[in-house]
Structure 1
Amino acid sequence: MGEVVRFVSKAERERLRLIREARAIYDSVFPPSQSINEQRDEPPLMHGANGANAQHPHNILS
């Protein structure tokens, strides 16, 4: 039997390359998070706030 060869235009190859490149950049900035099951095994991270009014509900950072 013969092989089926699919034509992919230069524009389509370029589009796919740009998508791969964008995904790599995104993943380097925002690494994929752990799975839900792995996150449940660890206690939640708590971040402290500095300043007297840091936890006041009307305190808006500008």
Structure 2
Amino acid sequence: MTELIFIVEEAPEGGFVARSLGPSIFTEADTLAELPTKVRDAVRCHFEEGAAPKVVRLHHVREEVIAV
């Protein structure tokens, strides 16, 4: 695996959650600034030494409700 994609969303209780589209990897952060560090840590914990993907993409999804 050379690339891993995470979906990033705002958590209902505040902060942000990131979920991997491939392997079952999940992490949370209070701010967007600390999220990349949390994702790196989660990826390193999930994979054996040297088996982690070279690239991790964070795909930010924002849901917005509008009245019509």
- Return the index of the structure with the highest Cα Rg: 1
Using the size of structure 1 for normalisation, the TM-score is: 0.28
**TM-score, normalising length: structure 2:** 0.26
- Greater fraction of residues in strand: 2
- Identify the structure with bigger relative contact order (alpha carbons < 8 Å, sequence gap 6+): 2
